Structure 1
Amino acid sequence: MSGNQNMKFLYAGIAIALLISVLAPFLASSDPDGLESAAMDIVDEAKLTAMEEVAPAVESPMPDYAIEGMGKTGEVAAIVAGTLIVLVIGFAFGKLTKK
């Protein structure tokens, strides 16, 4: 691939990642994910509730993939921000490890 084709491929990948980020809150299921439902089957409900009430070691800046008080707009903003952060970290790591 030439440099121009590589850049088109990169831009297409970024556009697809951002499109998925924007659509995810509207397409995601409200049912518990596989890990949560498996935990509910294995662990006693009282014990699971007690584990959920334990304060985390580090507070999440955007818990539950959302910005509180903004509804679906906050969910979209949080996921887009997370996607962009991961893309920037990946790009920086690629630049640092490039030979």
Structure 2
Amino acid sequence: MTETTQRRWWFWIGFGVITLLIAGGVSYLASSDPDGLDSATLQGCEVVESADGEELQGDCIAQHAEEHSLAGSPLADYALGGQDGTGGLAGIVGVVVTVLVAGVLFWFIARSRGRAPTQSGD
């Protein structure tokens, strides 16, 4: 293995470690309180506990909101399986999946551009 190849591998290993540390660490610092958009859509309503869960009373934009089709997915609400305290792990899983999907796509793009174009009509 050449020195350039070794440096490249060490760069990617360092990049991966730092990325995972940031994803896992910063995810634990994320607020579970509603963000600005959520707060704005809830203006004019009150969240009330009922037998069926939380309900909105009043007049606000959020009353017209529907559940997202991926709301039951494993990484919904920035947690694994909806469990509290798993935000860091969900961040790490999200980064790993994103890097893998992007890596595969970039690999296919690089391979397709590396092929010589075929000549037609000669």
Percentage identity across paired residues of the two chains? 22
Report the CA distance between 1:82 and its aligned residue.
1.0
Report the CA distance shift for 1:27/1:58 in structure 2 as closer, same or farther (over 3 A). Answer: closer
Which shows bigger deviation, 12-21 or 59-68?
59-68
TM-score (structure 2 length as normaliser) = 0.60
- Tell me the SS of whatever aligns to 2:93: helix
Contact map agreement 2:76 2:82 (CA 8 A) in 1: no
Structure with bigger strand share is 2
* 1:5 equivalent in alignment to 2:17: no
- Paired residue total: 94
47, 50, 62: which is aligned to 1:49?
A: 62
RMSD across aligned positions (CA): 2.7
CA radius of gyration, larger in: 2
After superposition, the Cα gap between the structure-2 partners of 1:4 and 1:35, relative to the gap in structure 1 and judged at 3 Å, is: farther
DSSP-derived class of the 2:31 partner: coil
Unaligned runs of 5+ in 2: 46-58, 115-122
Tell me how far 1:31 sits from its aligned partner.
4.3
Q: Are the structure 2 counterparts of residues 88 and 56 from structure 1 closer, same or farther at C-alpha, using a change threshold of 3 Å?
A: same
Matched residue, 1:76 = 88
Task: Quickly say closer, same or farther: Cα 1:68–1:95, change in 2 above 3 A.
Answer: closer
Q: TM-score, normalised by structure 1?
A: 0.71
CA distance in 2 between counterparts of 1:13 and 1:34 reads 32
Kindly state the Cα deviation for residue 69 of structure 1 after the two structures are TM-superposed. Answer: 5.7
In structure 1, distance between residues paired with 2:77 and 2:34: 12
Q: Aligned pair in 2 of structure 1 residues 57, 22: CA closer, same or farther (>3 Å)?
A: closer
Structure that is richer in helix per residue: 1
Measured at CA, do residues 79 and 71 of structure 1 come closer, stay the same or move farther in structure 2, by a change above 3 Å? same
* Alignment counterpart, residue 14 of structure 1, candidates 10, 13, 16: 16
Determine which of 19, 22, 25 is the counterpart of 1:23: 25
Find the counterpart in structure 1 of residue 49 from structure 2: none
